[in-house]
Structure 1
Amino acid sequence: MSVNDKVLKLAFLGEWDTLLPVLRNYPHLINLPSEPKGYTPLHQAAWHGATLPVIGELLFLGADRSITTHSRRQTAYDIVIEKHKRPDLEYILFPKKVTIAQIIRKVVLTEPQIFEVYDGNLILVDKLIAAFGVELRPDKLEELENRLHHLFFALTGQTINAEKMIKFDAAQGFSFDVNPAFFGQTFFPLICRTAQAEHNLVESEWATVSDLFEPSPTQWGLRGDLFLWLEMRQSLCQVSLPKDTDELADIISAAFQALTGKSLISRVGDNDFFVERFSRGGMSSGYVSSLYWLNEFIPQLQARLNWLQTAGL
């Protein structure tokens, strides 16, 4: 039996203890489709309702959540929705796109040698991450490159082809240099190469709290909760994932108070309150439900953190 046939058979049978070592040795077979249905090992894992550690290792080895079967055009996520009531698998297998900021964070983590101590280039990178926030990676690399170049100009007032160092003062006595050549010749090409190779996998080493906010909930408390959710996701795009769920709850509670001026812990008066900038029309427009955040959203985000950790991602 060929290695290809062995991979397909073991995946079909759900024999993960035998299959995973084979895929570790032959990672290029991770997205091998069966014929005629086009089931990859990840599709089979979804069909079997495999454990989170199994799903996590398949993803870590390069399984692509966006691949669809030949016959019914189903992703692994679609199969889980159809066959199982497993919120954990639904979250892990949701075929979400990677954001530009996620790619930048990954490059910073995996290529630390390109930065120096007190590097002005790294300070500008932080500004890039904050500016892109939760913007999705464009499908075309040319568009990604154009957006990087335009944002560089917006933040520095200089083009990527500028010959001189760009100086700025962060505080009295602290002056930094930004090197346009570094971004044009080193950093932005690294981002584009990473984007080209990326398979929609968010890894804990470079993930942030905002990554837990995708996908959005299917149910909301009041109309203002949607806009608070979106705003909080944007604001937490540089906050690293905490180690435990209690710390995550503290982060969400702090962000809630920072963005609304209301405390989740020491609530005074009604549990529902009005935020004018969230008022976009309709009944309960602009109103936020404290209890819904406490009883639904925060536990949901905590569960997602647990699922990521259990999956080893």
Structure 2
Amino acid sequence: MNDTPARSSRQRRSNRPPRRTRLIAVLSTLVVFGGIVAVTQVSSAGTLGWRPRNNFCPPATTPARPTTPPGASASPGASAPAATLNPGSPAPTGGVPNPSNTAAAYHDHGSIQHPGDGQEPLIAGSQNRQQDRNRGRNCTPRPGTSSSAPPVGNPANPGAPLEILGNSCEQSRKQPHDGFQNGDRCVSTEFGEVGTAEDNPSLLITQAPRRVRINQSFTIRVSTRNLVRDRFLAAGQGGYYKESSFLTEDGLVRGHFHTACRMLTSDRSAPDPAPVPAFFVATEDGKGGAQADEVTVTVPGLPAAGEAQCASWAGDGSHRVPMMQRANQIPAFDVIRLTVTR
């Protein structure tokens, strides 16, 4: 009675295939399955290989850096901007980048900053400048995006043609500007001549007091370079924005410079631009040139106590700030603050 189950158990074990045989069978099955998958992938690749790859245009916006440098806090009450300009892009690390080291637009306290004024540098190590200029021009709009050219200044596609709003007053509904200081007009005067970078005007306030009393006279010293101060069309006589900009035979701007002071009502917000400043003069003395020189401007006094802002800026013959060869050159202007006491 007891031997029958034992023989039956041994008989069942003897009918099973050896363990090594089972492992070999499993591995053979996996190898065959893998071969079928590989053949399927190669077949799919061969079938789709004739289709051209979509060269999608770059995204409409570019990844941004953090909105504030490490340790800095956003302005009270200001809403926190998105961490990136391009949803789905990896979160940036570190502080606000050095604009000289990057060509990508970035966020700085909620504003989009365009390093180099959107001017794309050459590809690192590239010897083909034409290739760099053409980069991004031939691309396919991504599904769901507009096929129209990006707006002016969009860093997403620097090589795309610019869309301008206009370059004359032909389509403007505003009245023509007549040379007098009236707003809500359209100025049709052409910009005129612009010099080279090394000949563009510069200006610096070299000396000014930090504190004066009400109605106390004081002086401001202003240095200019590359500005020949021999051209001034009086705005009160219709010379405002009336004349194009002109250069001397040496390529220097012909014009003058202005100096003005106004009382500030707040140091936390931009001042109202409409009120007439407490002091204003235009300096035309027939001097100036390629070498820096200095002019002394006398302010007869300021009428109220508080904080004052005094500025000097160059103008061409018709009162526009002189043009510059490059967008990243600082205009010919300077500004200082001073305290007016009783």
Q: Which TM bucket (shorter chain)?
A: under 0.3
Q: Pick the structure with more helix per residue.
A: 1
Question: Which protein is richer in strand relative to its size?
Answer: 2
